[in-house]
Amino acid sequence: MISFKYLDYLKYKLGDRQLNCHVDAIHAKPPKSDLYTEEIVVEVMEKTGCSGIVALVSRIEADLNRSPDSKNKKAIDEYRFILKKNLEDLDILDEKGFATEPYLHLSIHGMADRPDFEVEIGTFKGASCSKDFRHWFIDNFKKHIKKYIPNITIQYDYLLYGYPSLTYYRLGDSENNYSGHGELYNTVQLEFSTSLRENNKQEIINLLRDIILGFKQYNNAKPDAGQNEIFASIKE
């Protein structure tokens, strides 16, 4: 059982200090909720020990997946506070607030059933993560999903690839005086169809577990971050 800490707009739990990762469900609450995303996030936290964040408010009240405005600013400030708190707890922030080791931020979303694909991996055209990390993630996602949910179609930065806000945690949001956490911070938005979330929830959870634990190995095997150009940002 996950023991969350509660704030005004979010609940969260800091996880294993050996896992530079968190999962979140920021559209978990009705109305207009992404059904089952909270359950998926909680079970992934239980299976991996990673940190997690779940919204306590609907996107109608305060959409955490958009740029700050008069309606959602307090919620986004709270969200950014938790992100920084988690990185501080992991002891991977420098004096400027930038991550000193690769970090994985998995944002779990739901989409309606579509005739041509069941999953989309979104990185805002590559701007929310490094080029090297994006290749690693896509390769591992395809490898693991074959074990659990074969014969499905995946799209990559195709239609539901995220809003500019997906890049802020990495590249910053100058209009709102937010510097983000630098080039080693990698955010991925995962959109799962309604049918997959309803019929293959446990398979999704196992898939995400494998990716997170695989990222731990990826992170441990990386070269020195300060000398490795493959973690440079890309902007398309």
| C-alpha distances out from residue 53 to 48, 135, 140, 226, Å | 14, 25, 23, 29
Q: What is the pLDDT of residues 189-228, one digit of tens each?
A: 999 999 999 999 999 999 999 999 999 888 776 554 433 3
CA torsion sign, 208 to 210 to 213 to 217?
negative
Please state whether beta strands 21-25 and 103-111 pair in parallel, antiparallel, or not at all (unpaired): parallel
Query: pLDDT tens across 81-127, in order?
Result: 999 999 999 999 999 999 999 999 999 999 999 999 999 999 999 99
pLDDT in tens, 9-53: 999 999 999 999 999 999 999 999 999 999 999 999 999 999 999
Domain map of the chain by residue range? 5-222
Whole-model pTM?
0.92
Fold of the domain spanning 5-222: Aminopeptidase (3.40.630)
